[in-house]
A = this chain, B = another copy of it.
Amino acid sequence: MQTLADIGEDALIRRLVAGLKLDSSVIAGPGDDCAVVLPPARNEHLLLKTDSVVEGVHFTAETPPRLIGRKAMARVISDFAAMAATPRHALITLIAPPTTTVKRVIEVYAGLRKMAELHGVNIVGGETSRGDQLIITVSMTGIAPAKGWLSRNKARAGDTLWVTGQLGGSIRGKHLRFDPRLAEAHWLAKHLPVTAMMDLSDGLSKDLPRMAASCGLGYQLAFEKVPKSRGCSLTQALGDGEDYELLFALSPHALADGLSLWKQTFPKLKLTCIGQLVADPRQADLTSGGWEHFR
């Protein structure tokens, strides 16, 4: 089978970018030193995020290549969801051994492109280099109303803590096939008094303490309420990671109508209250578990 070494960089790139769908915001796509795009509107902020998937860490040699690309793109879109923002333009960095088949790379890009198109993301450029293992890095810009984006650090003591969906067991397949909660996040920001939000990528036991710490708060977690994926223990729900669900804090007033409207709008995705934020930052029950990159 044809490898990257057989066809070389320029021919590879021509194949990867052929027929890319670009909207009218793209002035110059792949092929120049930089991509050129229209700026956000005056009342919007520009958001930036980068993320990588690494062979042997986020996927294996056996992972279907389309799902590798799908995951690489969806992980970053999930970060824009976490801020109630809209992803817009992406750059793709491909690191691969020269022995990688062209077919594998083309399929990785098919997965990247399909997920990008689904969410209105333009792939406007990228970079390739050889390396010892396959790594896909997606760098993305997005936009949000200057007064309408959500950080993870603005919650107050007494705000309740919520998650979408079920946690744990992602390795059984969800980590490759999850849908970024973009529509759900925009809905929440519009209809509920969300005071902080993030996406759960390293596991609740790692991400909840991060959110509380960045608010300067502690938390009470109602362990028995943590929604567990089918067949998962509490330990798995807290520590497996790669849930790509939303964790958010709600101001404790005017909730009932919003929650009932949520059920009508997203009948298949449960919202669960799992505890609350408290004033004392030392009140923190989760001291271990979750994904640690360097251990």
Partner of A294 from the list B5, B151, B292 (CB cut-off 8 Å) is B5
Judge whether A36 and B32 touch: CB under 8 Å: no
A62 at the interface (CB under 8 A from B): no
Judge whether B294 and A85 touch: CB under 8 Å: no
Could you say how many copies of this chain the assembly holds?
2
Question: Which of A106-114, A133-141, A161-169, A232-240 faces chain B?
Answer: A133-141
Interface size class of A (residues with CB under 8 A): 35 or more
**Interface residues as binary, A74-92 with B (CB distance below 8 Å gives 1, 0 otherwise):** 0000011011010001011
A275 at the interface (CB under 8 A from B): no
Provided the pairs A45-B39, A137-B137 are in contact, do residues A294 and B34 lie with their beta carbons within 8 angstroms? no
**Interface residues as binary, A192-217 with B (CB distance below 8 Å gives 1, 0 otherwise):** 00000011000000000010001000
Q: B residues within 8 A CB of A124?
A: 48
A25 to chain B: closest residue by CB: B46
Q: Which 7 residue pairs of A and B lie closest in terms of their CB atoms, listed nearest first? A: A139-B139, A33-B82, A4-B294, A39-B40, A34-B47, A33-B79, A50-B91
